[in-house]
Amino acid sequence: MLERTVTTSADEAAIAAMAETSIARGSQSFAAAARLFDPETRRSAMMLYAWCRHCDDVIDEQDLGHRPAGGAKGRWTALTPAARIAALEDQTRRAFAGEPMEDGNFRALQLVVRRHDLPLRLALDHLDGFRMDADGRRYETIEEVLDYCHHVAGVVGVMMAAIMGAKGEDTLRRAADLGLAFQLTNIARDIVADARAGRVYLPTDWMRSVDLDARGIADSVNRAKVASLAARLLAAAEPHYDSARLGIDALPRRSAWAVATALGVYRDIGVRVSALGERAWDERVSTSKADKLGHVVKGAAIAGRRRRVHPARSQTLWTHEL
């Protein structure tokens, strides 16, 4: 695997710099946590993030999570969503096969794959999540939503855990749990904005239970209903956060610190959404620099008091085949 690609130290430094710019602009929450990794883990995590961010941007016609200014067209606009997915899959397969890649995001992926021997199936599983978005898929039950969350975020958790040196199925499943919890939190925070963009991730059976139509999610008169469903999403995230907390114990100390910090930051976003209730979508909920610093301190404490023995992951918790 990857024998045909030769990367110099200067090339790698340039790719790493590109990846760092990507994470700084695309996710301030993850960027704050990533600074806590040891240098080698941090570099690999940023490179993997750059590829994930790029794939997301291609599907959403964005640039690092943001729409082009002034209504400008993105360079992928001419392609249909299906064609974009096909292009991403082709480039991903070529990257794993070791072919020379012009795009820095796929060169970054190659470096991570070579260093950590990531399996192609995880990358393709991640692309399947973007395919769900491109297809405009709707989700009847919370289990179907969790399946979507696994593809767009759970498998990323597994790949990140592998980068950190995690071993064992139980630990990898807990890493997937963290990705699921993150994504459920993101969905709750962005329900209204997503609906305005034509994307609905709320379970259809939940919406029926409160007499809410997908076309009415962004309507302010329905905020009480939306808030009640957001609360259910965040409640569904909690057992996955709890499971992920135990998985932190299996990570090297610096990685444990970074993951514990990220967990605290993201869960805090969900807590704020719940506390704001109907006002949660007046503006995008986030955490301040001071709050992030507080989670850095708490994360250090968690990493320092890790337990060596803890219960096995609950068999009743939703899971996906790894």
Q: What is the pLDDT of residues 174-194, one digit of tens each?
A: 999 999 999 999 999 999 999
Q: What is the pLDDT of residue 28?
A: 67
Number of domains in the chain: 2
Between residues 14 and 125, the one the model is more confident about: 125
Q: Domain containing 209: what range?
A: 138-253+267-290
Q: What is the pLDDT of residue 29?
A: 66
Task: Give a yes or no: residue 258 inside a domain.
Answer: no
Tell whether 17 and 122 lie within a shared domain.
yes
Task: Give a yes or no: residue 222 inside a domain.
Answer: yes
Rounded CA-CA distance 65/84 in Å is 17
Q: Which helix (H) or strand (E) holds 181?
A: helix 169-189
Decide if pLDDT at 59 tops 50: yes
- Report the mean per-residue pLDDT for the chain: 90
Rounded CA-CA distance 107/271 in Å is 38
Tell whether 272 and 171 lie within a shared domain.
yes
Task: Give the pLDDT band (50/70/90) at residue 32.
Answer: confident
Q: Which helix (H) or strand (E) holds 316?
A: none
Task: Give the pLDDT band (50/70/90) at residue 1.
Answer: very low
The CA distances from residue 57 to 61, 77, 93, 190, in Å, are 5, 11, 19, 17
Q: What is the mean pLDDT of residues 126-155?
A: 97
Q: What is the pLDDT of residue 307?
A: 72
Task: Give a yes or no: residue 208 inside a domain.
Answer: yes
Cα end-to-end distance, the chain, whole Å? 21
Contact 115, 46 (CB under 8 A): no
Closest CA to 61 of 87, 36, 81: 81
Between residues 33 and 80, the one the model is more confident about: 80
DSSP string, 230-269: HHHHHHHHHHHHHHHHHHGGGS-HHHHHHHHHHHHHHHHH
Task: Give a yes or no: residue 315 inside a domain.
Answer: no
Tell whether 239 and 104 lie within a shared domain.
no
Question: 3-class SS at 203?
Answer: coil
